[in-house]
Structure 1
């Protein structure tokens, strides 16, 4: 039997966490913040608390009888050859490959369709413990150079370098202070656009957790010192704005997306670079779209006409053509109008427009002529998704004039498989075949709907091993996110497979706040409407219980980042519904989140406590502030990392300390502890070594299973 029996519950003694008398006054409301001291992650008192918490949680987790079998099985299931989505430039194919248990995937290049792949960049050689990750790469237009980004210890801070493709040797170009940046080569291959933040103040020391402001767009000419890079765009009066540059395939236009925050609204500025000759960096900007009224994503251009996916006057998205000489919306031409399905993204490939759409949280691919005439659908292998799981977050890869389109397909029982679709032959084949150590046909996914508190229909995927009975006693894991216009769609997860293999049910809900049904669906889970997200999740849990998949004594829930916030809010609002909870790297203090690193950019989804109305909304659900002493909380395993510079670890530190002081469920009789697992030399999750992932997931699954069987 894979999983063991429950061990005897023991009383726990939590580390000392002194409560201060600190109280803030928010518009006449006094709010205590007794664990503010835990925000200073480098203070000796905080470090001592972290060490004490790990000294409690790590031995506890290691002793769980379920953990040994789970860890071994996770290693076996993760040990399969897998590939990232390829990028093609000038006949060369660039792609990531992992032989199974490599901490980081290795980048290969294939000089032609028939050539043998050769190693180009191995991130595993950049650190002793596998914690330096390749986070992005872009080949130059002629395929001779590779600009690439690496990050250490899970940080969002990146370093950009350039490597010659022919011999795998770096050129010596090194760019720092880079975070949340793209890489956009000019057509001549002599440089690229990127975004960076100002240098850290003198004496700042470790800048990992610096508050972020004044990002700017620069151009780096190969061989020049970074200090000499020309400034391309900035807005000193708007220090929170974010800048992202793209260059059209023909090299003519620099297209800059200007975002006030991490929301879906952006402006678009363009610069005519003049084509393949030396780019005209000093050409004036044309403010093609100079307001933040909608979302605009570049497809590319045909001559002087630019094509964008937008949700302006089309909540589910449409494709428009814009002439820079006549940029007023009245002159825009709708190429592909709004459809019943949500338009996620689109690009030019060959002589076609390829549109990626969502139908009830599953992917579809549609083909159109450049004038918008439908050419039919590219049929996918099943009911799954085309995710942005590859390095750089690419979902589709292709170029105008090249008939090969690349996409990756995944589902709950199918790991990401890259496909190449030849447009002029209307044929698809796997770019690489993924060999599995399990039979996908052993697993079933049901796509159902539940009704939220206000009657809204919520997609819910329920996956399980064949033969699982609806008897109300299945250990069940419910997962969701619900925010930032991010859709939760079917995708493969080794931990989910291990959970199902052991007899568990794995459920995933697509909540409001995501992008599943367009702009209004997203907005329905933001700001004053954020409670809808929690109600949607509660409805999914109640559906699983009502339909006899599980019961409260057997139901675990998990979510990370914004999803960690979701889990924290849920166990405050409905502690009786769940047996175990796994909030990971969560945004837990909603009154102060905007004060750290990139937090201020989340205001589009959350609002802030800087206004009276924003304070009232956030205070009503903030996980840290709504913990109720004496409540019988589920067993909770909080996870975070000491180098998380996106959702700073102070969120989880304060939340865990408060919950440990409040819960009434951790005695001998009930034995439901509150633990926090704090990973060292790790960040928000991106680029985490496989070894660390396996250790963490073995702890999480063993903990959840222990309290749901």
Structure 2
């Protein structure tokens, strides 16, 4: 694979040898890093953090990790339990049965019940690997399950009639496979585009199947096509083109014979006409005036075919809005429910195969209070709906970036009375791939807030908060602006008294880890502590290994001289400067990370250790048996407590004594009950 580092004008790369992950020199270096980490933690670890995390973990027992699903009269729940995540099926009489337990079967990466509720298709990942394969698990105890070993990692799955369709193959090259649920008969399904492709599937209550096809690699918007067919089990379906490839589709949902898709606004398409080869125009739904400034992030169709209802989740900046209305209508002003943190929609209920449902579950996060869920029935009036407790604990600031661009920052205070007081503050960021940064409940964040700290989410350019233009502004050479956004936000938080000098820490992962590391090397004095998990760091070689070759549209082509100059302007590894007093830094990696090779952080760590003139520790926490999505079990608890201790030691935050009067975990977690007790909104 080509890389600028292989050319005649390669940038300096003194730690290239660390890319040999199994070489003796690298392994010896990793051993020294582990010893250094152990020595520092012996001095800085505070057992109070581990105790607080354990208390929060017990209080959060039963917390939902994804929205529930109802199928065939059964309720499926993906829950957190002590040291594990589980997938549970609950019968109408309340009897619960565990289908999957991550303590024995690996992390639950994806799951979807059949319309009848007879089985669940589950993908599990082991030891950090994002492996493929699907397990078909019966919902009734004692029935044998089946394995589909050819399923791709993170497969697209669709149930249509008696059939299960799914994407087989690798992460980047898909085939379409079909399997009859009653007989187990299976075959490969022809797709209408030749060559290596990646596929997405969409199905509703009827017999229509929508297929999205894009080139396998490198990932570009060119060549994206959509197709529809009336599925009857064919090996070679009669695929008909769905002419929406030119639209920026952000959400899609199928009913019986109609498709609703969001592309700036919502459109309605008659799939029955398309499947017969007839023309079917895009019919706008609702008023463009109410939708111009928002992005639809999720769509669902509920109710009978004759009078369906649309459930629309929109995002405008840092606010999410949920509406329910008829397709021919539009939400009335003030009729929707708004929320400032993550808000997710589950699938529409399926009472039985071939019957449309009239309800779905929503799942909402509050970083301080926990998570809560509600069952939404069709024709619900959201005007009287409010979150449990005292509502959201979040507020929004607006800061000016270096070029004057207004950038929102979501802030969560440790308690309602601390709003105007400075506090040790953790700043987090993502800033890429058009993905909006959403405040969520997380045990580490909950512990920081409980200890009296503050948390700030910086909604930089590159994310999806303000639509395609905002995302594009942080793409390619625009990544420099993303780094500027984070630096400006950190400086403003101190200037406005949210934190005192020396009280800021930044905590970010993946692309966010890249942005945090770039901010660290650009303005080292901004933060007292920096924690980056699985970051890219050598941007001249990001296409080497992992999934980097799929990311050229996001970062640019390192073999192109102009793009290379843009990459070098913020590449953390290349921006390390000799003789600089760097702050406390913790880099976290996993040996089984299949997205970002661990050597990115290793090279950055070595460069920082060799360049700093400060006394603050620069540490690596590497775990051979974890991947891009972090650790589990004891390893996760140790990392969480160690990270909190590391940031707390640098910013002056200590955990409160768990169990002391007035120091219980906040909100719903104070009661030790699942904060997401199911409640249906009255019609």
Q: How does 1:490-639 map to 2 (within 5 A)?
A: 490-639=439-588
Give deviations 1:144-196, integer Å, cap 9, x for gaps. 1221111101221132111222235443333146223222223114x322232
SS at match of 2:430: coil
Work out whether residues 349 and 356 of structure 2, in 8 Å CA contact, stay in contact via their aligned partners in 1.
no
Instruction: For 2:295 and 2:230, locate their aligned partners in 1 and report how far apart those are by CA, in whole Å.
Output: 33
Aligned counterpart for 1:679 among listed residues 623, 630, 640: 623
Structure 2 residues without counterparts, runs of 5 or longer: 653-683
Work out whether residues 637 and 676 of structure 1, in 8 Å CA contact, stay in contact via their aligned partners in 2.
yes
Aligned counterpart, 2:284: 334
Give deviations 1:69-127, integer Å, cap 9, x for gaps. 1111111112222123111222221112233x232x21111233x4422222223233x
Instruction: For 2:97 and 2:371, locate their aligned partners in 1 and report how far apart those are by CA, in whole Å.
Output: 22
Aligned counterpart, 1:319: 267
Instruction: For 1:515 and 1:421, locate their aligned partners in 2 and report how far apart those are by CA, in whole Å.
Output: 26
Q: CA 1:376–1:149 in structure 2 vs 1: closer, same or farther (change >3 Å)?
A: farther
Aligned counterpart, 1:109: 89
Does residue 16 of structure 2 align to residue 36 of structure 1? yes
What is the Cα deviation at residue 527 of structure 1? 1.0
Q: CA 1:44–1:295 in structure 2 vs 1: closer, same or farther (change >3 Å)?
A: farther
Q: How does 1:161-172 map to 2 (within 5 A)?
A: 161-172=135-146
Instruction: For 1:622 and 1:294, locate their aligned partners in 2 and report how far apart those are by CA, in whole Å.
Output: 30
Does residue 54 of structure 2 align to residue 75 of structure 1? yes
Q: CA 1:242–1:625 in structure 2 vs 1: closer, same or farther (change >3 Å)?
A: farther
Aligned counterpart for 1:149 among listed residues 123, 147, 151: 123
Work out whether residues 525 and 532 of structure 1, in 8 Å CA contact, stay in contact via their aligned partners in 2.
yes
Aligned counterpart, 1:123: 102
Does residue 334 of structure 2 align to residue 354 of structure 1? no
Aligned counterpart for 1:230 among listed residues 177, 181, 188: 188
Q: How does 1:400-439 map to 2 (within 5 A)?
A: 401-424=356-379, 426=381
SS at match of 2:543: helix
Aligned counterpart, 1:195: 168
Work out whether residues 366 and 377 of structure 1, in 8 Å CA contact, stay in contact via their aligned partners in 2.
no
Work out whether residues 147 and 162 of structure 1, in 8 Å CA contact, stay in contact via their aligned partners in 2.
yes
What is the Cα deviation at residue 681 of structure 1? 1.2
Aligned counterpart, 1:64: 44
**RMSD of Structure 2 on Structure 1 (CA):** 3.2
Instruction: For 1:119 and 1:707, locate their aligned partners in 2 and report how far apart those are by CA, in whole Å.
Output: 42
Instruction: For 1:450 and 1:640, locate their aligned partners in 2 and report how far apart those are by CA, in whole Å.
Output: 32
Instruction: For 2:494 and 2:71, locate their aligned partners in 1 and report how far apart those are by CA, in whole Å.
Output: 51
Q: How does 1:93-108 map to 2 (within 5 A)?
A: 93-99=75-81, 101-103=82-84, 105-108=85-88
Q: CA 1:408–1:485 in structure 2 vs 1: closer, same or farther (change >3 Å)?
A: same
Q: CA 1:705–1:442 in structure 2 vs 1: closer, same or farther (change >3 Å)?
A: farther
Q: CA 1:605–1:327 in structure 2 vs 1: closer, same or farther (change >3 Å)?
A: farther
What is the Cα deviation at residue 674 of structure 1? 0.8
Aligned counterpart for 1:54 among listed residues 17, 34, 39: 34
Q: How does 1:168-187 map to 2 (within 5 A)?
A: 168-176=142-150, 178-187=152-161
Instruction: For 1:166 and 1:282, locate their aligned partners in 2 and report how far apart those are by CA, in whole Å.
Output: 34
Does residue 638 of structure 2 align to residue 695 of structure 1? yes
Instruction: For 2:4 and 2:313, locate their aligned partners in 1 and report how far apart those are by CA, in whole Å.
Output: 49
Instruction: For 2:114 and 2:347, locate their aligned partners in 1 and report how far apart those are by CA, in whole Å.
Output: 18
SS at match of 1:628: coil
What is the Cα deviation at residue 622 of structure 1? 1.0
Instruction: For 1:385 and 1:700, locate their aligned partners in 2 and report how far apart those are by CA, in whole Å.
Output: 23
Q: Which moved more, 1:325-334 or 1:413-422?
A: 325-334
Instruction: For 2:19 and 2:329, locate their aligned partners in 1 and report how far apart those are by CA, in whole Å.
Output: 53
What is the Cα deviation at residue 429 of structure 1? 12
Work out whether residues 195 and 244 of structure 1, in 8 Å CA contact, stay in contact via their aligned partners in 2.
no
What is the Cα deviation at residue 256 of structure 1? 2.9
Work out whether residues 141 and 188 of structure 1, in 8 Å CA contact, stay in contact via their aligned partners in 2.
no
Work out whether residues 481 and 559 of structure 1, in 8 Å CA contact, stay in contact via their aligned partners in 2.
yes
What is the Cα deviation at residue 290 of structure 1? 7.3
What is the Cα deviation at residue 355 of structure 1? 0.7
Q: How does 1:460-475 map to 2 (within 5 A)?
A: 460-466=409-415, 467-468=417-418, 470=420, 474-475=423-424
Aligned counterpart for 1:218 among listed residues 157, 177, 185: 177
Instruction: For 1:558 and 1:225, locate their aligned partners in 2 and report how far apart those are by CA, in whole Å.
Output: 47
> How many pairs are equivalent?
631
Q: CA 1:677–1:447 in structure 2 vs 1: closer, same or farther (change >3 Å)?
A: same
Work out whether residues 228 and 275 of structure 2, in 8 Å CA contact, stay in contact via their aligned partners in 1.
no
Does residue 93 of structure 2 align to residue 86 of structure 1? no
Give deviations 1:214-239, integer Å, cap 9, x for gaps. 3333334569999x7414438664x4
Give deviations 1:528-575, integer Å, cap 9, x for gaps. 211121111112111111112224422111110000001110011111
What is the Cα deviation at residue 46 of structure 1? 2.3
Work out whether residues 506 and 529 of structure 2, in 8 Å CA contact, stay in contact via their aligned partners in 1.
yes
Work out whether residues 366 and 392 of structure 2, in 8 Å CA contact, stay in contact via their aligned partners in 1.
no
Work out whether residues 207 and 256 of structure 2, in 8 Å CA contact, stay in contact via their aligned partners in 1.
no
SS at match of 1:24: helix
Give deviations 1:452-473, integer Å, cap 9, x for gaps. 122222111222223437565x
Give deviations 1:370-422, integer Å, cap 9, x for gaps. 22433676754x7433445xxxxx65655683221211011222222221012
Scaled by the length of structure 2, what TM-score is found? 0.85
SS at match of 2:133: strand
What is the Cα deviation at residue 44 of structure 1? 3.1
Instruction: For 2:15 and 2:507, locate their aligned partners in 1 and report how far apart those are by CA, in whole Å.
Output: 24
Q: CA 1:195–1:456 in structure 2 vs 1: closer, same or farther (change >3 Å)?
A: farther
Work out whether residues 4 and 540 of structure 2, in 8 Å CA contact, stay in contact via their aligned partners in 1.
no
